[in-house]
Structure 1
Amino acid sequence: MKLPFSFKSSVLIPMMLGWLILLIIPGILFVFDISLFPLLSLDSTAAETLFWITSSGTIPYGVATILLVLLLSYRRLERSRFFSLFFTISLSMCTILGLSHYLKPLFNEARPNAVWLEQHYLLNTDNFYSLSKAERKEQMMAAVNQIEHADTEITLAPLVKQHWQHEVDFSFPSGHTLLAITLTMVTSYYLLLAGNIWIPSLLFFWSISMGFSRMLLGMHWSQDVLASTLLGGIIGLVSLFAIHKTFPFIWSLSTKLVSQRRKANQ
């Protein structure tokens, strides 16, 4: 059975090109200081569609997304490559969770929607981010419920209102973008290696949509998405390299244990 131990330029080159495109989009917005919030009508069908896209990276739906990707990959990869993919995804997801947990309080960056609420005298960000998460949710709920009575240009669809009330932590980095980029990079490597193109293509457009959804819904600034795209790609590549180096030993050990167990049961 072939083991997935050699990096191939025929796979890495399209991966790197895709990553570059994903970096260029928020990079242009950042360089030209273009803010996508509040350009979109947040009580529209488009806003609700973006909510469902962004929810695909939100717990528990994010876990379901990873499991779906693994299921689709399982049907298209050899057993050794699938387990290598599983270990790589596990390593990269643990890394982004830890990194996001550490960086958010370190940078203390307010979300665009919180800044907008402050500009309309519905929230005080200094006080808001000093509260516990439960207290922030209560205060955000109160602020969101006052929007329709304030002199503002924004009306929130119920799903978007629910999202604002749920996402009350700091802005930098974008955990949703980290998840989307890392999952796309890692999964695309193995599937492109196996000759599958359509799933990596879907994941690529999902990653683009995720970044846009985070910015258009007022959850992140362009620099958050740009930095998370950069970090997500690096984490994906480092995770691939780490498993590339360790998986031969893991696979060899596991096959020996299985073989010994079968002999013992005979």
Structure 2
Amino acid sequence: MVKKLLQDKREGLLLLAGFLLIVAPMSLFVSHIDLLSEVCDVVGFSFTALTDSAGSKGFLITLSVLVFISWRVIGFNREFLAKLFQLGVILVIGFAAKTGLKHVTESPRPYTELLTHQLLIPNPEHFYKLDAIQKEEMIDEISQQVSPWRTSHWQGEKDYSFPSGHTIFASICLAFFGGLFMQHKRYGLALMVGVWAVCVGYSRLWLGMHRPMDLVGSIVFVAAVYALMPSFSQLGMWMMQKLKYPAHIHR
């Protein structure tokens, strides 16, 4: 049964493995990211758009686009409904676990290290002892040296670093939609989702919001949850019957 469970998800798991292999060595590039460097508007806008596409401001738009494309690829059938239910369950698990793990690990965000280096706080952990107003004032002070393309995100996310919620969402989309596209031989679409996921991950590093380990942990977590997720095929059949659709209809 476990073998069958994994076999049905081999494409999605393969894509996550590829994502992991690309993200893992990103630590080699992080050392070249200077958070104090000047940022042109094109670069700043591009990384902001990427990170927002997997964050609270834009994840629903991304999700809607991917669901629509999936519907066009496989049609409205029990597979489509089962996949949607799978997606909903893992999104709830992913976002709930993200919040819980952040409080358990209490890993400071990378930008707090810059605050420490600039002698604004004694150590990264001290940032989380400040109240909301003090944190905002601290980031305002460093904003004289750091591009607003970065500090605007710092102001919006003052919680802990591990794991990366944006990478969790990108990994879920890659496993579900990328895997689905591969199963239906739409390799170009799968590649596009993969490139987007990698770019989202790198945007989090570039902004000073995460370390490579945060991304790695997020991908591994999603892979584990996705691998153990039931197919819900019977539920898909039941929903089709309730909606008065014959199970064989594809479009």
TM-score by length of 1: 0.79
Unaligned runs of 5+ in 1: 1-5, 149-154, 260-266
Larger radius of gyration: 1
Amino acid at match of 1:204: G
> Which of 38, 45, 68 in structure 1 is aligned with 2:34?
38
Q: Percent identity?
A: 21
Cα contact 2:106–2:160 (8 A) shared by 1: yes
Flag the 1:81–1:10 CA change in 2: closer, same or farther, 3 A. closer
Task: State yes or no: 1:20 paired with 2:11.
Answer: no
Flag the 1:50–1:33 CA change in 2: closer, same or farther, 3 A. closer
Task: State yes or no: 1:160 paired with 2:150.
Answer: yes
Task: State yes or no: 1:138 paired with 2:123.
Answer: no
Q: Which residue of 2 aligns with 1:112?
A: 110
Number of aligned residue pairs: give it.
Answer: 239
Matched position secondary structure for 1:129 = helix
Matched position secondary structure for 1:218 = coil
Unaligned runs of 5+ in 2: 245-251
Q: Which residue of 2 aligns with 1:251?
A: 236
CA shift, 1:191, in A, is 2.2
CA RMSD, aligned part only? 2.7
Cα contact 2:12–2:176 (8 A) shared by 1: no
Task: State yes or no: 1:172 paired with 2:162.
Answer: yes
Taking the TM superposition and a 5 Å limit, the aligned residue runs for 1:28-107 are 28-30=25-27, 35-38=31-34, 41-44=37-40, 45-79=42-76, 80-107=78-105
CA distance in 2, matches of 1:64, 1:140: 32
Cα contact 1:117–1:143 (8 A) shared by 2: no
Structure number with higher relative contact order (C-alpha < 8 Å, ≥ 6 residues apart): 2
TM-score by length of 2: 0.83
CA distance in 2, matches of 1:56, 1:26: 18
Q: Which residue of 2 aligns with 1:3?
A: none
